[in-house]
């Protein structure tokens, strides 16, 4: 389940979704939380939240083209870019994958490109 007992800190650690389910009387989560609070009346309840997600790096076509044109081998890269763009029906995701595979440092740096 999404509930654990931490004896070191004397807390009942629950997730947000578990707490929401436990708010429904007589649900399985409600019964479990009730039993745990009866067994450990001095323990506090600590809600564990999920870590915030890092948003995906989604450079625009213009940003990718701007970066490609600044490279020494821009003509070769433009051919690859256009081939990648023609390959799939959902071209953007394929081109983005090609771009980030070709330039992995861009995703790590999360560079903002001038248009």
> For residue 6, what pLDDT is reported?
93
- Would you state the pLDDT for residue 110? 66
25 pLDDT band, cuts 50/70/90, is very high
Residues in the chain: 115
pLDDT at residue number 1: 58
Element (H, E) at 42: none
pTM value is 0.50
Instruction: Please indicate whether residue 58 or residue 30 has the higher confidence score (pLDDT).
Output: 30
CA neighbor of 101 nearest in space, from 69, 57, 40: 57
Give the number of other CB atoms < 10 A from CB of residue 104: 10
**108: how many CB neighbours lie within 10 A of its CB?**
10
The pLDDT assigned to 103 comes to 87
Q: What is the pLDDT of residues 37-95, one digit of tens each?
A: 999 999 999 998 888 877 777 888 888 888 899 999 999 999 999 888 888 777 888 89
Enter the tokens of residue 61: 């076509």
């Amino acid at each position: 389940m999404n509930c654990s007992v931490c004896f070191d800190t004397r807390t009942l650690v629950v997730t947000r979704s578990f707490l929401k389910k436990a708010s429904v009387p007589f649900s399985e989560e409600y019964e479990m939380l009730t039993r745990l609070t009866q067994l450990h009346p001095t323990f506090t309840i600590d809600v564990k939240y999920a870590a915030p997600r890092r948003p995906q790096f989604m450079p625009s076509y213009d940003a990718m083209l701007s970066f490609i044109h600044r490279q020494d081998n821009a003509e070769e890269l433009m051919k690859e870019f256009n081939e990648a763009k023609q390959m799939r029906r959902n071209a953007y995701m394929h081109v983005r994958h090609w771009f980030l595979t070709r330039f992995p440092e861009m995703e790590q740096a999360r560079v903002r490109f001038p248009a």
